Amino acid sequence: MATKTKPLFTGKRHRLDRPELLAPAGNLEKLKFAVHYGADAVYIGGQHYGLRSNADNFTFEEMKEGVEFADRYGAKVFVATNIYAHNEDLAGLEDYLHGLEKAGIAAIIAADPIIMETAQRVAPKLEVHVSTQQSTMNWQAVQFWKDEGMPRVVLAREASLEEIAEIKANVDVEIEAFIHGAMCSSYSGRCVLSNHFTDRDSNRGGCCQSCRWKYDLYEDDIQVYGMDEDQFTMGSKDLCMLENVPDLIEVGVDSFKIEGRMKSLHYVATVVHAYRRAIDSYMADPDNYELKEEWLHDIQKAANRPLNTGFFYDTPGAEDHIYGPEDKAAPYDFAGVVLSYDESTGLAVIQQRNNFKPGQEVEFFGPNGTAFKQVVGDIADEAGDKLDAARHPLQPIVMRTEQPVQPMDMMRKRIRP
Amino acid sequence: MATKPELLASASSLDELRRFAEAGADAFVIGESRYGVRLPGDFPVEQIAEAVAFAKPRGIRIYAALNNVLDNDTVRTLPGYMKQIVDAGVDAIVFGDPAVLMTARTEAAGVPLHWNAEMTSTNYATAEYWGRRGATRFITARELNMEQVLETKAQSSLEIQVQVHGLTNIYHSKRPLVRNYVDHQSEGAKEQSSQLPGNGVPQGTIEEGLYLMEAERPNERYPIYEDANGTHIMSADDLCMIENLHELMEAGIDSFRIETLLKSAEYNETVIRAYRAAIDAYAADPDGYRFNESWLEAIQALQDPNRELSYGFFYKEQVY
């Protein structure tokens, strides 16, 4: 991972606005954990008009519950309605947007201008954010969307920090940027590989990630590199700006967006937790801010691809792609979530999320300071019967923790070095 | 006699433009790669003016390509550039980025605006949206099927332009993917540029001959090239709608686009002639129109045997 130690913007400090930390939530449980672990806002998908047709998308009822939960933390819920609609998708749009408004959704993230305009007309309480699928790269296009009544633009992932600074200097509108997670290597929305390879429409949620396949490059009928060499790919490393949070804040990015509506609960909680601590620490005392190694280590525990800084500092080069084998699983796995803790006995009830057993090293973490490792001692079911292993998904397991824990703290275990 | 749809092409040079006009194209999209995307050649402003001078007396229209994804630096130069091309007398401006629309309000008032965001131009209501903001023409995404194209024409008040022949872009990245791959293979820093396929190709021209293949699709060659705008990957087949052009003519589609990119001038000339013949035959007698096999045969005779002529997405159902 590229390390940028020197801050990019070192001018005289103006008063800084606290950025929003915006997290993905593939389902209601992920929403709750994302909010609990420190997201100021979450974005979800509904039953229609979103780009993750395979995700576990929200019903209106689930949205309402999510909004109520988020409200208690002062957090907001956004819905991605980011497809490029085809004619037949237009019927039902008004009802759907109206339903989102009724469910208490704060904003939609839209790419197709007809979805933006329809929302303004039929669901005026919904804010409309311009999706990264619009590939907005310049201040004048941002000005256009502002003039059209959009309070926020999610920039193209191709915009550099300097370009973002220029956009902020020219237009008074909220700017959201992806700061962590998987990236399209194309301009977002400008890729129909899926349509051509598999008849799946990428701009309506059917993307089959052909950019991560391997290809042979030919020049005039001759394969440019031999069979035993790495094949060509468009696949990119994942974005990680954790080391560069001060630059993002200084440049005035209003919302820090984490990618990953398809990612696991453990991933979302871990990543949110790391950025939450970095942002809060910087905002509390910018002059004495120090990046903590443990935040980076935490990120690595959930990362399933190598990381880089995208286009923020320069155009990605050879080192920013994943040639050769892809997708190593993250080194740690989610083992359980704390349901309750009894201070008098030091016993916690932990809901099993993956197998664990006595003798294994685990670590606990949580948004309110929980952070320790221990070896699993005796475990029992709720009836008090001793178990040799926690094998059953969602089974409540009673075990002693070496330090106090809180509900919604997580327990993870190392699965490979 | 029916109203004739326009036959629109691109050209890599003034010579080629004259040649394609001779073959029957009656409109051209030209421009510079800084502002336009995937042009077969660069036309500096003086050459755009020359093209207009050639075209005007012949009733041929010249459209300026400004449909790139624009960055701040380019946007700064946009008013000056737009003023120049308007002075040069272009008949329309093709745009995708809203910055072009904004600039056109002051620098190109009255010049028709064609909205072309390629794969994201997918429904008539969005066409109308851009129409309310000044667009006069909507270029349909190549991923639409016939039913969607025809409904778009029926529902929209804008002129509708449809690509009927040639390859299509299927992936555009700002990353220099070919250079990155070569760098990865060479590992060192020194010899990279000399090993780069396409090294030494002058700016504004395209290195042809590079393509990608995927193990499970051994008969499909996806052309790939790099330029100042990044990396472009193109379809493995060439769209060819000449047999079914009447379906589009009956619906009153306003403009038929021939994509000339990555093809020889001779091939493009033949394609343009074939479509010219079909359009003229239909216009002369819509009811008595019959597809003439020889139009297609002329194209087939010059078709790269490694590239299939296809109907693109016109008769496909996609899932998502």
Looking at the domain assignment, is residue B315 inside a domain?
A: no
Same domain, B207 and B111: no
pLDDT in tens, B150-182: 999 999 999 999 999 999 999 999 999 999 999
Q: Where are the alpha helices (DSSP H) in A112-264?
A: 113-122, 139-147, 161-170, 193-198, 245-251
In this prediction, residues A28-55 reach a mean pLDDT of 92
pLDDT score at B2: 63
In this prediction, residues A34-53 reach a mean pLDDT of 93
Same domain, B14 and B133: yes
Selected from 3.90.1720.10, 2.40.50.180, 3.40.50.2300, 2.40.30.10, the CATH number assigned to the domain covering A332-414 reads 2.40.30.10
Sequence-distant (6+) residues with CB within 8 A of B80 are none
Looking at the domain assignment, is residue B317 inside a domain?
A: no
Interface contact A238, partner B, CB < 8 A: no
Q: Which residues from A are below 8 Å from B318, CB to CB?
A: 195, 199-201, 204, 206
What value of ipTM does the predicted structure carry?
0.95
CATH class of A20-190+234-320: alpha beta
Cβ(A367)–Cβ(A338) below 8 Å: no
Same domain, B202 and B241: no
- pLDDT confidence tier of residue A414, bands split at 50, 70 and 90: confident
pLDDT in tens, B72-128: 999 999 999 999 999 999 999 999 999 999 999 999 999 999 999 999 999 999 999
pLDDT score at B1: 53
In angstroms, what is the C-alpha Rg of chain A?
A: 22
Looking at the domain assignment, is residue B320 inside a domain?
A: no
Per-position DSSP letters for A42-69, written without gaps between them: EEEE-SSS-S-TTS-PPPHHHHHHHHHH
DSSP A232: B
In this prediction, residues A357-378 reach a mean pLDDT of 97
- pLDDT confidence tier of residue A1, bands split at 50, 70 and 90: very low
* Higher local confidence (pLDDT), A404 or A2: A404
Same domain, B227 and B285: no
* CA distance linking residue A262 with residue A182, whole number of Å: 11
In this prediction, residues A367-396 reach a mean pLDDT of 97
Interface contact A21, partner B, CB < 8 A: no
Same domain, B218 and B98: no
* Higher local confidence (pLDDT), A8 or A254: A254
Picking from B72, B95, B187 by the largest number of A CB atoms within 10 A of its own CB, the best residue to mutate is B72
In this prediction, residues B59-84 reach a mean pLDDT of 98
Same domain, B76 and B39: yes
- A with B: how many residue pairs have Cβ under 8 Å apart? 212
| Inter-chain residue contact A189 with B175, CB threshold 8 Å | no
In a 13 Å sphere around the CA of B78, the CA atoms on its Cβ side amount to: 32
Q: Which residue has the tokens 């590992």?
A: B187
| Inter-chain residue contact A193 with B171, CB threshold 8 Å | yes
Looking at the domain assignment, is residue B225 inside a domain?
A: yes
Q: Which of A187, A204, A218 sits opposite B172 (nearest CB)?
A: A187
Beta bridge partners of A338: A350
Q: Which of A135, A159, A318 sits opposite B184 (nearest CB)?
A: A318
Which CATH number do you get for residue B11?
Answer: 3.20.20.70
| Residue B224 falls in which region: left (phi positive, over 0), alpha (psi -120 to 50) or beta | beta
In this prediction, residues A144-154 reach a mean pLDDT of 98
Q: Write out the two tokens for A372.
A: 């320790």
Share of chain A above pLDDT 90, in %: 88
Looking at the domain assignment, is residue B90 inside a domain?
A: yes
Interface contact A188, partner B, CB < 8 A: no
- Is the model's pLDDT at B190 over the cut of 70? no
Q: Write out the two tokens for A166.
A: 């220029």
Looking at the domain assignment, is residue B184 inside a domain?
A: yes
Same domain, B93 and B195: no
Of B234, B249, B275, which closes a domain?
B234
- pLDDT confidence tier of residue A116, bands split at 50, 70 and 90: very high
Interface contact A318, partner B, CB < 8 A: yes
For A61, list phi and psi in degrees, rounded to 5.
Answer: -60, -45
Same domain, B32 and B146: yes
DSSP B118: G
Same domain, B100 and B213: no
> What domain count does chain B have?
2
| Alpha carbon distances (Å) from B77 to A278, B82, B84 | 39, 9, 11
Interface contact A87, partner B, CB < 8 A: yes
Interface contact A406, partner B, CB < 8 A: no
* CA distance linking residue A213 with residue A198, whole number of Å: 13
CA dihedral B44, B49, B54, B58 (to 10 degrees): 120
Same domain, B149 and B253: yes
Share of chain B above pLDDT 70, in %: 94
Picking from B153, B175, B214, B304 by the largest number of A CB atoms within 10 A of its own CB, the best residue to mutate is B175
Query: B126 to chain A: nearest residue by CA?
Result: A114
| Inter-chain residue contact B75 with A189, CB threshold 8 Å | no
Report the mean per-residue pLDDT for chain B. 94
Same domain, B292 and B254: yes
DSSP A132: G
pLDDT in tens, A240-284: 999 999 999 999 999 999 999 999 999 999 999 999 999 999 999
| Inter-chain residue contact B214 with A215, CB threshold 8 Å | yes
Looking at the domain assignment, is residue B56 inside a domain?
A: yes
Identify the domain containing residue B204 by its residue range.
171-234
Same domain, B124 and B256: yes
Looking at the domain assignment, is residue B318 inside a domain?
A: no
